Every structure is written in C-alpha cells, then in structure tokens.
Structure 1
Amino acid sequence: MEQALATNLTETDTGEDRAADLRGKIHALLAGGDCSQAQIARVSGLSAAALSSWLKGAYKGDNSAVEEKLLKWLGARDRNARTSAAMPAAPAWVDTPTGRRIHAVLMFAQAAGDLGCIYGGAGLGKTKALQSYAAASPNVWVSTMSPAHGGVSSALEEIAEAIGLRGIPGRAARLQRELVNRLNNTGGLLIVDEAQHLNMRSLEAIRAIHDATGVGLVLCGNEAVFARLTGGSREATFAQLFSRLGKRLRLTKAAPGDVDAMADAFGVMGTAERRFLAGIASKPGALRGVVKTLRLASVFAAGKGESLTVDHLNAAWHDLAGEG
C-alpha cells in the first residue's frame, strides 16, 4: 500500500490538479486503514478541523499551506517506509549464552521464592532476557524503574501498575498492603529492572513485600544495584537485604557465543563479518551496538544491491558514531 501510494507530487506542482491528486492519496490512505484522520492531522501539524474541511474541499483558510504540510508528511512517510523495508527488525529475543544465565537466576528465584540480583554493564541483553522470561512464564511481572521512581510511593505505584493494580488511593502503606494481597500464594516472580534508581527505603519496602508473600524477587540493573545491597561497610540496614540475597549474577562483557547467536539471527555467516561484530561487542554498548550496526549495515547493503560485508558493517559503525 505504501509503495503504491508513494507521492510523485513536488513542491513546484500548483493549482487544482495538485489539490485533487493530494486529496485522492489521503482518501486512499484513510480507506485502506493505514492511518486515521486524527493521526494524519497530528503528525502533519494540522488541526483536525482544518484537515476535515480541506478533505471536503471546503477549507476557507490558506489551502496552499495545508497542502504543503501534507506533502511534506507524505514525503517523509514514503522515505521512512523505504528505509524500514530495507532495515531488518531488531529481534525481540535471541537465545544467547548470557540470556540463558539470566534465565537461570530468574528460574531459581521463582522456584525457591528467593531474592536474586543481576547487575553489570549496559547493552548485554539484560532487559530483553527479563522480558522473554516473563512472556513465557505465568505470574511473572517486570516493573521498570526510572529516576522518577526513587521514592517508596512512586516505586510501589510502578509495581502495582506492572501487576495490574490501578487506581489504588492512599499512601505507601496502603499500596504495600494491596500488593501483598495480590502477590500472596501466587508462586510468582517480581522482577524490578533498572533498580539502581531506587533509594534504600524503596528497596526495603520491596524486600518487605518479598518477605510477606514468599514471591520471588529479582533486582536488575547496573553495578550500583549490587553496591546498594552490600552497602560498602554492610551496615545493619544494608545487611537486611544482603543477607537475603540467594543468587547473584554479574555481567561485565558479552560472551563469544552471544555474538555468534546474534549473527545467526541476522543471517550473517562470514568469518570476517563475525570477527568485526565481536570487536563491536567488546566496546561499551556491547550487543546493543552489534544490533544497531547490523540494522544500519543492512540498509547500506540493500541500497547498493549487495550482500552484507565487513565494508557495510564498518561504514555503519562509523556512521552511528557520527564519523560517516
């Protein structure tokens, strides 16, 4: 549909012919269900009323200005469609050795009703592994924290949202009680991702839910997560958490098998190409950098009608770094 509707209108086209042709293309998109009138208005920068009137040929304002905005939107839409067609989608989940190690911690914590911690560098597939485990397992909830969730109430609200509890009035104590009631006797697993954003009181509140329900709990994030649990000198307040830690996993770099699995997922079989990808995986960003490079390199290769080579990977890597 998108290729068939690729606009051949230019900014030099004028008059009723351009307006009629443009209306026809917009009506075809609407009829095909590719997008709604409200969506077109929003992304093109028009008001819904102006677009509606223009589509009926009844707009009393500056019709040329409306048409210019729609032309720019259609042109951008077509360019994005061509790029997307050449760019392979990032896989939702690739079964890597690191991913299996993460799953092992999650399975242990859920089966034993224990507390686990997964921590380390960025770009190693931690979040993807958490999501894949949750998607394949009953009573597993992933709650992702951010700097906005450092306090007890905001952290508990985010967890409540993740497990399907919404609109609970009251303070942190009420939220905690409702969470305990919901999680009790589920045999489930609560995964808190990006847990480095939580302060000590929030961690203790979440630990109390684990203690009260026996639900498995895994804290995941960067190195600061484990540092928070050990507390450096391990004062009593930190010891409460650390003493309950049943299983931990520190990830510092991608495993060799991780790169091979990712290359397999993208159909990259050449030895030289895999060696280049392994070099990317050894840098900050690790597997995330590998995936981004593979996707952009695929666009470069498709644009030249060639099979993906080291040259395409090298060009993509430098382009992503702003050196292209």
Structure 2
Amino acid sequence: MKILITGTAGFIGFHLANKLLKRGEQIFGLDSINDYYDIRVKYGRVEMTGIDKDEIKYGKLIQSKTDSNYQFIQLNLEDREGLEKLFAEQKFDKVINLAAQAGVRYSLTNPQVYMDSNITGFLNILECCRHHNIKHLTYASSSSVYGLNESQPFSTKDNVDHPISLYAASKKANELMAHTYSHLFKIPTTGLRFFTVYGPWGRPDMALFLFTKAIFENKPIDVFNHGEMQRDFTYVDDIVEGIVRVNDNPPKENPDWNPNSDDASVSSAPYKIYNIGNNNPVKLMDFITALEQKIGKTAEKNMLPIQAGDVPSTYADVSDLIRDLDYKPQTSIQDGIDQFVDWYKDFFKVN
C-alpha cells in the first residue's frame, strides 16, 4: 500500500508512520512543522525517521536515509495547489489525516488558525481524495466533540451538537464534511475520536509533559478543576494499533441503514466513527500520583478552577471498536507514564 500520513512530525503521526513502515508499507509523511510547540521535539521525530532536517525545504520531497519506503514533505494542508500536485504525482492508495491545529485553550485566542488548518485544510484533503481515487480516508477527530454531553461513557451513538470550544467544533465539522463526501462521491471515510493521548514523544502542551518538566525543574504544576478532572488517558501505542486496524478495514455502503436509527456513527454511505480510548477514566490526582512515583518526587500543586473550553470528565465507550475490529486499548496508566518519563529523561538529558 502507498499511504499518505499527514502530521508525521506530530505525536501520533510519527508513531503511526513507524508502525506501518515496520510492516512494509510505502509511507509518505507530510507536515507543516509549525511552531505551535517546542520545535525541537518535532525535528527530533522527523530525524528519527531518517530525514535530515537540514534538507527540509517547503514543497520538497525528501527520501529517508534509513528506510527506502519512507519519504517526507513539508507542506501546509491549506496549500491546495501543492497538495493537488502531490496527489497527482504519487497516486496514493489511502490517506490517514492526522495533521490539524491542536489544543482546546489555544483555540480561545487563535481561532483563525483552526479555520485555516482544520476546515480549509481538511476540505483540500477531501477534494484530493475525491479526484484521485483514494480507497479509504481515515482522519483524526477528538473526544472534545462530546462537549456538554453528560451521559457517560461517551458513545458514538450520542448527539454531539454542543461543542464548547472552536477546536471541538472544527472536529465535529470534519465529521460532517467527511460524511458529505462519503455520501456524494462514495469515498470510504472513518473518523477517530481520540481520548487524551499520552506517551513517549508526546506533545509539550499536554498535561503529562508539562507536569514532568515542572517536577524535574522543581516548579509547581497547575492542577485545574481543583484536581477533580477525570480523563480517559490512552497510551499512544494503543491509539496507533487502533488506527492501523481501522485503516485496514474501510467502511462499506449500507443500503439497509435506517435514518431513524439512534446510531449517528454510521450511515447508508461508506462512513463510520469510532472512539479510541482506554475505557477507564482516571482522576487527575491519581495520574499525578503515578507520575510522582515514577520520578520519585512530590509535585508542588497550584489548585485552579476549570478552564474555559475544558470538560470535567471523559470516558470512551469502545464497544463498536471491540465488535468490529476485535480491539480494545489496554496499557495501564503506570506503565504508560513510566515509558514517557524514561523517554523524557533520555531526550532532554535529565539526570
């Protein structure tokens, strides 16, 4: 298979590219390499796939020095002409779109970048899939789409019409846009609602990275909602395994689908939505305790109120993932945190 993965300088995209390369797929990585967070981590991921960062030039396709099946290009999803040229030349079989402007809180102060990357950029991906015979588009959605939903665990059957951040709204919009293209042009599309992904090479703007950095530097950590948060923390390897299984199993048209059914995750079109979460919400304070145990130091804590755009709890119902793909994430919190801290100490040379 010739697969385009967008966001391969990003956290999940980097791990996914490595996983698919190991099984012999021909992978093309794409990333804008923006400076939303510490650029050292992004370039570090890029270099781990055998790409010389000094050779990176916008729009230039670069061959990996360590794997003949991997090539990388720096490109913005908003660059319609550049994206069209890439699709026309490379004739991909499948696309996995993980590139997006991430972050709930950042969307409160920088709304335009979410429209550019997550809406315009995603439209460009859909148009390229439409015109270049892509066999399956798998794309990242987010657990944030559940917004004001209070019924837990969150099910893909639930209504998600009440997002509470522009980031969440952009992800809900992606699902709607994908369904339209599945319906009109019969493009198989699968959206994946990720639940609080963590692990080695994780994003520096996420809680685990921020907490770890602060503890090692003897600085206090900010604990929102006075520690009453609950999150369905999901280890990155479990997320990647779910993506691979989904990618291998594109949805099919279902002429027997009933539009009056209560399942919003399917359709008569070749369209599907899955949750990928650990199915085991953890209190934020328990998460911090596991981190303190690994590091061997107690964190000084600033207890703060819940932030705008945040939800107090997330909890994934993964019953359809189990039913359809015989898969359920299962890495324990302590194991996942241990592996992250070991990576962090190695990457940042922390004693």
With the length of structure 2 as denominator, give the TM-score of the two structures.
0.30
**Structure number having the greater strand percentage:** 2
Higher-Rg structure is 1
RCO (CA 8 Å, sep 6+): is it higher in 1 or 2? 1
**Structure number having the greater helix percentage:** 1
